[in-house]
Amino acid sequence: MKAMVYRSRGGPEKLRLAEVPRPVAGPGQVLLRTLATAVNPVDWKLAKVVPRFGPGIPGREVSGDAVEVGPGAGFAVGLRLHALLGRAGCAAEFVAVDAAVAVPFPPELDPGQAAALPLAGLTALQALRDKARLPLEGASGVRVLVVGASGGVGHLGVQIARAAGCTVTGVCSAGNADLVRDLGAADVIDYRQAGMWEGRGPWDVILDAVGQDWAALASRLTPHGRLVSALPGPGLILRSLANGLTPRKVDWVMCKPDAAGLRHLDALAAAGQLRVVVERRFRLEELPLAWERSMTGRTVGKLVIEVG
């Protein structure tokens, strides 16, 4: 099968289209013929720093058609599934997926959107639900700030919080303000504007999707508010160890596969409460171009790699 492969540390220049062995569905696994995968900053960040002792295939999220089902997997051939994997390997024509993390995706999502939802969507969900302890419904009156509201994690975080009933404020560039309002934000702050915080806040929950100054953000919490970062630095991680001593909580999220969470996101999409914004779609062999775009830090929504 064809796959995008890198054999040594580096950036987009290390990626090559290559023939590699096709995987098989082991016990509890489903073999997907890949329809699409998506780019996330973690893909190229790991490729830069992790030593390679063999060919590496990037990508942790996938949508595809089930073509082979291993013993005990519980799915039927022909189902269209999407999943977040606990390992990389999705930028390929076939991917073996643990059935426990795979979910049939609704027709409201096309295959590209279905591939782009798992990692960013579950990061936002786990930050809000698990770390910030935000109820997923009946949260009227809860004020949520999303920093990086037009990016992959942020644009989904805005919609998850809004669907829960929260009043959402998004931070993004002025050029993306209309999009963020359309996704459900009641107010939008232009991060380039002087005095951007004047007259705004405080917030009960802050989701930082871009790795801003956590101490400055935490000062904008309500007395018992919670800040969760998707890109924590050492200082924030150390501060999180003292959460038991302070009324304001500072925490961080590391996304993990979560089939139940993915089903919740799919239900929001089916109900018209969540849409996956795709800035651009690339072919498999164009993955280096997609990485270059991701590395600018200016992506609106997600970048999709169409395979099948």
Contact 256, 277 (CB under 8 A): no
Please tell me the predicted confidence (pLDDT) of residue 179: 98
Tell me how crowded residue 185 is: count the other CB atoms within 10 A of its CB. 27
Give the pLDDT band of residue 149 (cuts 50, 70, 90): very high
pLDDT > 70 fraction of the chain, expressed in percent and rounded: 100
Residue 97 has pLDDT above 90, yes or no: yes
Q: Where in the chain is the domain with CATH 3.90.180.10?
A: 2-117+276-306
Residue 276 has pLDDT above 80, yes or no: yes
Q: Where in the chain is the domain with CATH 3.40.50.720?
A: 120-252
Beta strands per DSSP E along 70-160: 80-84, 94-98, 102-104, 143-147
Give the pLDDT band of residue 50 (cuts 50, 70, 90): confident
Q: Is 89 left (phi over 0), alpha (psi -120 to 50) or beta?
A: left
Instruction: Give the C-alpha separation, 167 to 226, whole Å.
Output: 15
- Tell me the residue length of the chain: 308
275, two tokens:
């849409």
Is domain 120-252 in CATH 3.40.50.720, yes or no?
Answer: yes
Using the 8-state DSSP alphabet, how is residue 83 labeled?
E
Please tell me the predicted confidence (pLDDT) of residue 141: 94
| φ/ψ (deg, to 5) at 290 | -65, -40
| Residue tagged 């063999």 (tokens) | 54
Please tell me the predicted confidence (pLDDT) of residue 49: 86
Please tell me the predicted confidence (pLDDT) of residue 21: 96
Please tell me the predicted confidence (pLDDT) of residue 51: 74
Contact 300, 150 (CB under 8 A): yes
Contact 225, 246 (CB under 8 A): no
Please tell me the predicted confidence (pLDDT) of residue 164: 98
Give the pLDDT band of residue 137 (cuts 50, 70, 90): very high
CATH superfamily label, 2-117+276-306: Medium-chain alcohol dehydrogenases, catalytic domain (3.90.180.10)
User: Of 53-57, 128-132, 201-205, 286-290, which range is least confident?
Assistant: 53-57
Helix (H) or strand (E) holding 291, with range, is: helix 287-295
| φ/ψ (deg, to 5) at 293 | -65, -45
Nearest to 126 by CA among 299, 239, 260, 245: 260
Name, in order, each residue with C-beta under 8 angstroms of 211's C-beta and a sequence gap of 6 or more.
229, 230, 231, 232, 233
Please tell me the predicted confidence (pLDDT) of residue 52: 75
| Residue tagged 């059935």 (tokens) | 99
Contact 302, 279 (CB under 8 A): yes
Averaged pLDDT, 130-150: 97
Q: What is the pLDDT of residues 200-230, one digit of tens each?
A: 999 999 999 999 999 999 999 999 999 999 9
| Mean of pLDDT over the chain | 96
Please tell me the predicted confidence (pLDDT) of residue 53: 67
Averaged pLDDT, 180-204: 95
